């Protein structure tokens, strides 16, 4: 248990609006693998912003996060499918639609560019993680939340207008060439 205290206390504070983190996600995972039990390390490793299912065993905090995050995903799928005029059904995870987040998401997704909307979604995820973290210090749940926050920060700083423009042009050219 002392490794959990040591690792948690040695981690730098993460704030949503800061730039590049002092520690990177992969370095954090390396520290976790070195200092924690294999079972706990695997839970941290499996804590993902992109998980498509909820683990039935393990951390209750991780399960709560996964249910909320899948609900956010489902809401976005419905909104985007409606805009595209297609059925959302093939893309939904219907077994996890129990968390009431859609009203808040509707407000933060009103108008705005896709980039602005993505940043609002990440900020919403961050606030949820703050709530989940508030009951935990120096334990596995704290480290799981920290892992997810690092993923959010790294995703956020990966957004680059110039790189995005190049990617968009590449995709549009590929689509045009297929016509």
pTM for the model stands at: 0.85
Write out pLDDT tens, residues 52-77. Answer: 777 777 789 998 898 888 888 888 88
Residues 6+ apart with CB under 8 A from 162: none
Write out pLDDT tens, residues 81-128. Answer: 888 899 998 888 866 655 667 677 777 777 778 888 899 999 999 999
Burial of 51 (0-12, 13-18, 19+ CB in 10 A): middle
Domain extents in the chain: 2-8+19-178
pLDDT grade, residue 34 (50/70/90)? very high
Mean pLDDT of 40-60: 85
Q: Specify the pLDDT at position 95.
A: 66
């Amino acid at each position: 248990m002392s490794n959990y205290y040591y690792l948690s206390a040695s981690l730098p504070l993460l704030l949503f609006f800061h730039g590049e983190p002092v520690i990177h996600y992969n370095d954090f995972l390396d520290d976790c693998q070195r200092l924690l039990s294999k079972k706990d390390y695997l839970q941290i490793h499996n804590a993902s912003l992109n998980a498509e299912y909820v683990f039935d065993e393990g951390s209750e905090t991780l399960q709560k996060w996964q249910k909320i995050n899948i609900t956010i995903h489902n809401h976005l799928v419905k909104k985007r499918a409606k805009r595209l005029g297609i059925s959302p059904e093939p893309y939904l995870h219907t077994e996890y639609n129990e968390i009431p987040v859609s009203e808040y998401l509707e407000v933060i997704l009103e108008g705005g560019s896709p980039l602005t909307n993505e940043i609002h979604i990440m900020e919403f995820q961050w606030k949820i993680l703050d709530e989940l973290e508030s009951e935990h210090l120096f334990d596995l749940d704290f480290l799981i939340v920290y892992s997810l926050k690092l993923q959010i920060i790294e995703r956020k700083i990966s957004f680059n207008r110039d790189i995005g423009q190049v990617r968009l042009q590449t995709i549009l050219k590929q689509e045009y060439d297929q016509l």
